[in-house]
Structure 1
Amino acid sequence: MTIWPDNYEYRDSGAVGPKAKLSGHFLNSADLSGMDLSGSLLMGAYLSGADLSGACLRGVRLAGADLRHAVLRGALCEGVRFSGCQLDYADFRWASLTDADLSAAESIRGSDFTSSSGLDSIRETLIGRPFQELDCWNPLTRHTTRDSLMT
């Protein structure tokens, strides 16, 4: 509902919303739950500990982002490429990962994918990751990454 002045480039202003340009921004521990961030640029953004539960991340560009301990429960992550992302202990429970690419993520150590949808096409790739990532216990969700990928 924000009204911007004519010709104001709000996408570069640091405002958070659809198609925002937030690459490299420090959003550690930010509450972004339920937000529409579709089409945003978050490459190299610092999102460790951020709450993105229920957020719309459709088509977001996250290359190289720090998502350690981020909460993405129920997030819509369709078409998101997680290349170079640090996903240690990320909570993807009930997230929609249809057409998402986690194959080039830096690490999924301790991440929880319980009840996530859209994993069928990438499950085998994720199960092929090193045992140090797959057999790591997530103290919050009380699952290992391997166990969460099997449910």
Structure 2
Amino acid sequence: MSEQPINEPGGADGAPLPPLGSQERIAQQRIGEALLTEDGRITDTPQAKTVAIQALAGRMQSSTPALVLASMGLVVGNDMAAHLGNGRYVLVPHDERYPSMGADVLHVDELDQTDPRHASGRIVPMDTEQADTLVRVIAVSELMGAWAYGPTTT
């Protein structure tokens, strides 16, 4: 195990990391991303993060309300916990490809049929299992971000 602090630049072997944007750094990142799954089907970092977040969200034993409370922040708010299970509210994901990026919580009366984001195939009613799963994924994403960056106070 390395004696080097984890917040110091350098690889696991203590060697300095290649500069950002260098061909060597890009090659190392591609190798790391390919190793995320046994078959190398993950090809980019956002996709890898999504796979990791979804896997972790599915394995966490905490209840969804407990995860929401633990992850309260910019993306996860009281409205997700308060309206979970209420069919008069829906989630509108910010990005279909990366659902962990968050979602807006809207009352069904707030839906605008002219807005493509509010199409029936895109919204997730809050009284469905899909909503519970989406809220868990968003909460876990927030928790992972908090763990990755640590406290913001000194």
TM-score in terms of structure 2 length:
0.27
More helix by percentage: 2
Greater RCO (Cα-Cα under 8 Å, separation 6 or more): 2
TM-score normalized by the length of structure 1: 0.27
Bigger Rg, structure 1 or 2? 2
- Higher percent of residues as strand: 2
